[in-house]
Structure 1
Amino acid sequence: MIQKILRFFFALIGILLGIAAASVVVSNTWIQESLNFKFVSEYELIVYVVLMILFGLIFFILFPVMLNGVKRLSKIVETSMENVRLIDVGLGVGGLVIGLVIAMLVSFAFYQIPFPWVGGILTMIVYVVLGYIGFTLPIKKREDILTAFQNSKRDKDVNALANQKRTTKKKIVAIPKLLDTSVIIDGRIFDICKTGFIEGPLVIPVFVLQELQLISDSSDELKRNRGRRGLDILNKIQTDLEIEVQITEEDFADTHEVDAKLVKLGKLTKGKILTNDYNLNKVATVQGVDVLNINELANAVKPVVLPGEEMKVLLIKGGKENGQAVAYLDDGTMIVVENGKKYIGTTTMVLVTSILQTAAGRMIFAKPKK
């Protein structure tokens, strides 16, 4: 059925070619002069009908032969292409297109030749030569072209990976630091931020500000001064430092203790609590919230004193145990001197016996040097 339909269309193509051939014969004066015959309208119609029938019959009759020829040609092409890789076809077609484009650009120069037939011959030669070179050269240089593409892709992937890493690094955000009331009043946070050891942002919860305001309005003069000092420290941090300061409105109505609210906020924001409150430090650590204790930092940067070292200290008061005396270093470190009570009020050389390091601070135990 399909072959019948194709045969019909093939005959139709023959009829159309017959019309085209009749149009050439009728309109060509050279043919009329050679035959010494002039076509009138009746003869023109006859020419059209005869050539349409003739070409239609030829194409209708020769269709099986042409169909077999096409099948043989397709088999030959298929057989010859069995060992040809798709990449070779792609490279060949691409090279052919490039070669023909170059040939077209070169052929523009031949239009200036005064002899048209010379320019036509040269144009044809250039198209054939450059088309052939464009088709065969990429296939011969297939490995080099593929290697170049692979290297280019690898370089692109490496650059993309490097850009991704840089972008990832840029997207890394510093963990927020939650300030509690005690560390604000303490004031040392300002100096620490000024040195650049703390990465922002500093987050100040609104309930901490409210507690500072209550302390500032206290009837107790000492508390009032401490609260005002905390507000002054906050103002200095915001105005004198470049570190980011955020005021969060997050509050927890079901909780009344400021420390408990701070721990909940630390869990919620995955932030670290900045404090010098020993009890808050313990509670937050137990609940899995990271804590930065200012006192621990201060102890960490104090000068190291080792057992067996000697130092000169001023004993200023008695200790808790009988016979003990207490002295202080310039950084506030307490020195407990055993059997030093009789030296209270004097500067005495002591020998360090042991050191006790706690989250609340460092204590040095010593005895008078004999």
Structure 2
Amino acid sequence: MTACPLPLDSVAPADVAPARRRGRGAPANRSGRFERESREDFDDGWGALEDLPAFATQIAHERPRSLITRNESPDIGFERSINPYRGCEHGCVYCFARPTHAFLGLSPGLDFETWLTVKDGAADLLRRELSAPSYQPKTIAIGTNTDPYQPTERRHRVMREVLQVLAEACHPVAIVTKSAHVLRDLDLLAPMAAKGLVKVALSVTTLDRGLARTMEPRASTPERRLDAIKALACAGVPAAVMVAPVIPGVTDHEMETILTRAQAAGASEAGYILLRLPLETQDLFGAWLLENFPDKYRKVLSLLRSTRDGKLYDSSWGKRMTGTGPYAWTLGRRFELACERLGFGKHKTKLRSDLFISPQAGGVQLSLF
């Protein structure tokens, strides 16, 4: 399937029955763009679809050759990142990372949130990479693609192990999550924060609990995310709020309220990102929008097109995060004015790299002298 921009007057409907995707975000599970054949459920009149089981979380394991990913995009504020998992059980329907599942031969739809890959041996691999003689420490971002604190982390604890290695090495790390489960690691985060090694951002899309449940079904509730910001701040961990993504006509009116609530909870920094719909995400979000907000469908896509030069998405550096045009400009000014009023950005946390201690990696030959 080749993803293409959605016309304003039509969209592929949801093709998976609500009962089968209960607790999931995507309304469909069509084949990825690299597959030669496109497969989707079809009722042939015999009621066979009613016998299909609900989508359950499946776990696969891999041992990657490297863990730290290098980034060269000039409009992203980090050069290195780690993703402990492939896929994300939070099921956020708008997630811009969904199209990456097509590289695995899986659907960016329901497969993305139900077929997860755990990176085994991540801690040992990270130790080896940090132990390389040529390694120079710079802040590692975690949570920029899939959430490190998604539900499966409770069982597999890959993020916990990675964070332990970074703590031992006094390595700077910036974390982004939609989960209050980050508080499990306060015993590591607080001492790291005291050394200037960590900051955590909670992404808050909406304060409407019902909307959040529909749009990001397995992420923490908005209130729990705000509580997590408060707990982090009370423990001395620099906390930020990301109003992300801002969805035109659906959540954009909440920007100032989210910022105000986050600041009251203890957030010291803030950011926002306009809704991004690359590749298959356009079809998935369009079907979700038509199912849940049919009266807003045309308005939302029209506003989004106004920020992308008539398209639903523009991947150009410098434009993809905030868009262009009058609506995007207004959104940016609203954010700036709210941040100025609330005092965000006055003391931006800069993480330290000078405390780095190279760990002794297992299997690395030691010097005889």
Q: Which has the larger radius of gyration?
A: 1
* TM-score for the superposition, normalised by structure 2: 0.19
* TM-score for the superposition, normalised by structure 1: 0.19
Q: Which has the higher contact order (CA 8 A, sep 6+)?
A: 2
